[in-house]
A and B are shown apart, each in its own frame.
Chain A
Amino acid sequence: MSDTKAIPCSEAVRQLWDYLDHAIQPEDQEKVEKHLSFCRRCCGELEFAKEMRAFLATSTAEEIPPYVKERLERFVERL
């Protein structure tokens, strides 16, 4: 196997979110996966990237205060 696909940690980390988004070129994906296959630290970064994404996606919606909801409802009714 050639090592032309080797990339440093900084490069792997830079691509992790795009990698998780499947928004990465196939050859870059290969490079990231190769790097992850031997780099523990970047595997940790990957896990954390997944946790961050889940955290953002599931963070509870900003609660709408009842009086604001009421005002907006009245606003809609008067349109």
Chain B
Amino acid sequence: MHAESVIAMSEAGVRDPTKEAFQELVLAELPALYSLARRLVRDGAEDLVQEALLQAFRGFATLKEDAAAGRWLKTILVNVFRDQLRKRSRTVDERPMGDLDDFSLYRTLVDEDPFPYSDTLHLDFLQGFDSEDLREVLIRLPDIYRIPLVLRYMDGFATKEIARLMDAPLGTILARLHRGRRLLEREMWTYAQEAGLLTKERAEDE
């Protein structure tokens, strides 16, 4: 047996084209997968990605076309995450988080006017958030609101697809998206105050 052919063999002693194809597809998707995982869990993003990769490898045959690999992997990751949530037997926490219905970040910004010299108050506010700030805000939201928000508005999943993934009726997902947007806006306002995003001199040298 030639040395070079040994390298291309799996432990079973046969060359495994499936495995090589899988590796090639997946390596390019690692950053996007990890990014999604970080927005879903506070700790353990890497474990979540590993578990998703394991399941993806087992179900590699279900991938219809290589071009869909990114979305396919993300879907698997969300499924793994959902199952983890269930196992922790955390009952779905649908209790209301304070009185939200009349909170409007748009109006709050107009009323509080944190940047009095700005003509683009609302944009300035958003631009104060870097990706770590946004992640911190997202992680504070209850899972049932964060997951649809991240999938819909950051990763571009359709609401129907989210309903299927979360095993919930479409109406429920729409309601959670609605409430989730309100929560996100309120949490962004709270966080901006705590983290000093509303003052020009944000401590950059810390």
Show the binding face of A for B, using Cβ within 8 Å.
10, 13-14, 17-18, 21, 23, 41, 44-45, 47-49, 51-53, 55-57, 59-64, 68-69, 71-73, 75-77, 79
- Report whether B135 and A52 are in contact in the complex, using a CB–CB cutoff of 8 Å: no
Closest residue of chain A to B50 (Cβ to Cβ) is: A75
* Given A56-B154, A64-B31: A48 touches B46 (CB 8 Å cut-off): no
Residues of A contacting B34 in the complex (Cβ-Cβ under 8 angstroms): 62, 64, 68-69, 72
Q: How many residues of B contact A (CB 8 A)?
A: 42
* Given A17-B178, A62-B39, A72-B34: A23 touches B159 (CB 8 Å cut-off): yes
Residues of A contacting B185 in the complex (Cβ-Cβ under 8 angstroms): 52
- Report whether A64 and B35 are in contact in the complex, using a CB–CB cutoff of 8 Å: yes
- Report whether A14 and B178 are in contact in the complex, using a CB–CB cutoff of 8 Å: yes
Contacting residue for B23 out of A10, A55, A79, CB 8 A = A79
- Report whether B131 and A62 are in contact in the complex, using a CB–CB cutoff of 8 Å: yes
Residues of B contacting A76 in the complex (Cβ-Cβ under 8 angstroms): 22-23, 26-27, 30, 53
Residues of A contacting B107 in the complex (Cβ-Cβ under 8 angstroms): 41, 45
- Report whether B153 and A53 are in contact in the complex, using a CB–CB cutoff of 8 Å: yes
- Report whether B30 and A72 are in contact in the complex, using a CB–CB cutoff of 8 Å: yes
Top 6 closest pairs, chain A to chain B, by CB = A61-B35, A62-B38, A62-B35, A48-B106, A56-B153, A64-B34
> Would you give 25 A-B contacts (Cβ < 8 Å), ordered by A?
A10-B102, A13-B104, A17-B181, A21-B159, A23-B159, A44-B110, A48-B105, A48-B106, A51-B122, A51-B123, A52-B126, A53-B153, A59-B129, A59-B134, A61-B35, A62-B35, A62-B135, A64-B34, A68-B34, A71-B46, A72-B50, A73-B27, A76-B27, A76-B30, A79-B23
